[in-house]
A and B are shown apart, each in its own frame.
Chain A
Amino acid sequence: MKLEDKLYTVGSKPDEAGSHLAIKDPAPCLGPCEALGRPCTTFCPARVYVWATDRITVAYSNCLECTACRTGCPFANIDCRLPRGGFGVAHKYG
């Protein structure tokens, strides 16, 4: 089963008002993080972070709210917050 299909199984209400995730500064991603393989683009369980030519795109509406990106970014360059109350994932089983 593809990850995209798995993400459809997750009950979620994305916050239309905006993203709870952001790359603080594009410089480390372009520069020194390339050599490290830009870890957020590999370890994120929902593959929210994707390298697109010259920057990382953030598909926040797929976020599963594990907050690993905040801890795993080698440059502490991801501003990862929790979605506003009532938004984001709502587990059926958990």
Chain B
Amino acid sequence: MSERFDCIVAGGGLAGLTAAYTMAKAGLKVAVIERGTSPGAKNVMGGVLYRQPTELIFPEFWKSAPVERPVAQQSLWVLGKKGALELGVKNPARTAPPYNAFTVLRAKFDKWLGRQVVDAGALIIPETVATDVILENGAIVGVRTDREDGDLYASAVIAADGVYSQIAWKAGLRREWRPDQVSLAVKEVIALPAERIEDRFHLSDGAGATIELVGDATMGMMGIAFIYTNKDSLSVGVGVMLADLVKHRRNPNDVLENLKAHKVIQPLLAGGVVREYVAHMIPEGGYESIPKLFANGLLVAGDAAQLVNSFHREGSNLAMHSGRLAAETIIEAAKRGDFSATALSRYRDRLDDSFVMKDMKQYAGIGSYLEHRPHYFGVYPDLVNDVLFEFFAIDSIPKREKLRIMFRKALESRSLFGMLRDGVGLIMRLLLKSV
């Protein structure tokens, strides 16, 4: 392997493949190192893929890419032990262009994306792990791989090797993640006939639904669960902050089973057959956890860069956008023949100017705010459900008396002062940053 590339991309996920595609289209000589048998083999997402950000790179991708269902219903369920509060929006118009989002299965979608990258002229090297960077005179000039004589040389490297980025780590850009900077997610793909899915989720015209669940869905731990409809299967999963799983000594599979057995959830899944069980870490440390993103000859994109906006369920779009901006920075650097950290720092400027860093900044600190107030996940979901249960119980008690009962019930789990502080605190955190 003595040939030299303009850029080597470590990792064939959304960030890496987008970067490789963009650079190959611009005429650069690009190689993607992928540890799986093909792109997608190791990848996991809930997963929702957004149409507009994807179309910036792959126009009308939905016509040929393996997407599952266009998302026309989105809801948040606050799950208590005995019931659920549903909040949702339904937009039938989303079943036709311009779509907003699609559910996808990444093993299939990324394989398709890989074919686009190859057609654009890049080389994908599968079944190969990028294990280290090659340093010459203080600049990264390639990667080591686990193949025999597997050193590969390039003018620049993009680390798009996911949450466990060996390249960013070996290059000294990131430290080990802390257990409060990552979520551990498990997910099942559960086969169910399309007509049943459409009946149970009230869908027509091939539309899809997404449900996000908090509260008992994660057994009160900091995290979120989800149920997404695919063509003829459901993606059902839970993600919990690793520090919380350690603290509560819980197994994520038990959390998932608890969700599946919940009286509100069980009827949605009944008769389904588990086709696959997967696990993945999600970088959810937020803005404060973003490592240094450039060095001499190196850029970091996607999950490796901790670019996930967990508050808005966004990650795929941040990965693709960062991959594209990294590619554009390398294309510019190639024109000038300058791959120094100073030249590549333009990548950080581009990210700062885009929605990527603007959004990451907007939600800076929200993770640690919630982490230190476990009652958002552990107390309020049951409180809300219990109070509403009381509210809707018609039992010949005068309404004034009823309000008193509800109020007393609420105070059993949280003080009035505590509730006021939590409510105002969360609103201030979210709103003050936007003004």
Bound CA–CA A87/B277 (angstroms): 18
Question: Does the CB pair B107–A92 fall under 8 Å?
Answer: yes
Question: Does the CB pair A66–B108 fall under 8 Å?
Answer: no
Bound CA–CA A76/B179 (angstroms): 11
Given A72-B179, A89-B42: A82 in contact with B251 (beta carbons within 8 A): no
Which A residues are CB-close (under 8 A) to B128?
85-86
Question: Does the CB pair B105–A43 fall under 8 Å?
Answer: no
Segment touching A, from B20-28, B278-286, B401-409: B278-286
Bound CA–CA A33/B283 (angstroms): 26
19 A-B pairs with CB atoms under 8 Å apart are A1-B257, A6-B274, A42-B251, A64-B277, A64-B279, A68-B182, A71-B182, A72-B246, A83-B35, A85-B127, A86-B126, A89-B42, A91-B276, A91-B278, A93-B106, A94-B40, A94-B41, A94-B44, A94-B108
Contact of B35 among A70, A76, A85 (CB under 8 A): A85
Which residue on A lies nearest to B180, using beta carbons?
A71
Which B residues are CB-close (under 8 A) to A46?
279
Chain B contacts with A in 96-141, Cβ cutoff 8 A: 105-108, 110, 126-129
Chain A contacts with B in 16-43, Cβ cutoff 8 A: 36-37, 39, 42-43
Produce 1/0 per residue, B22-66, CB < 8 A to A: 000000000000011100111111000000000000000000000
Question: Does the CB pair B278–A64 fall under 8 Å?
Answer: yes
Contact of B177 among A9, A71, A84 (CB under 8 A): A71
Contact of B107 among A65, A66, A83, A94 (CB under 8 A): A94
Number of interface residues of B (CB under 8 A): 52
Number of interface residues of A (CB under 8 A): 37
B245 within 8 A of A: yes
Bound CA–CA A65/B186 (angstroms): 12
Which residue on A lies nearest to B280, using beta carbons?
A66
Question: Does the CB pair B43–A10 fall under 8 Å?
Answer: no
B399 within 8 A of A: no
Bound CA–CA A37/B245 (angstroms): 12
Bound CA–CA A16/B281 (angstroms): 25
Which residue on A lies nearest to B110, using beta carbons?
A94
Which A residues are CB-close (under 8 A) to B357?
none
Question: Does the CB pair B163–A67 fall under 8 Å?
Answer: yes
Closest 4 CB pairs of A and B: A86-B127, A94-B107, A45-B279, A94-B106
Bound CA–CA A9/B164 (angstroms): 24
Bound CA–CA A42/B189 (angstroms): 23
Which B residues are CB-close (under 8 A) to A7?
277
A3 within 8 A of B: yes
B166 within 8 A of A: yes
B335 within 8 A of A: no
Which A residues are CB-close (under 8 A) to B37?
86, 90
Bound CA–CA A71/B178 (angstroms): 6
Which B residues are CB-close (under 8 A) to A86?
35-37, 126-128
- Considering residues B41, B108, B110, B277, which has the most beta carbons from chain A within 10 angstroms of its beta carbon? B277
Bound CA–CA A85/B42 (angstroms): 11
Bound CA–CA A66/B182 (angstroms): 11
Question: Does the CB pair A82–B242 fall under 8 Å?
Answer: no
Contact of A91 among B44, B184, B186, B246 (CB under 8 A): B44
Given A9-B274, A85-B35: A93 in contact with B107 (beta carbons within 8 A): yes
Question: Does the CB pair A66–B246 fall under 8 Å?
Answer: no
Bound CA–CA A44/B126 (angstroms): 27
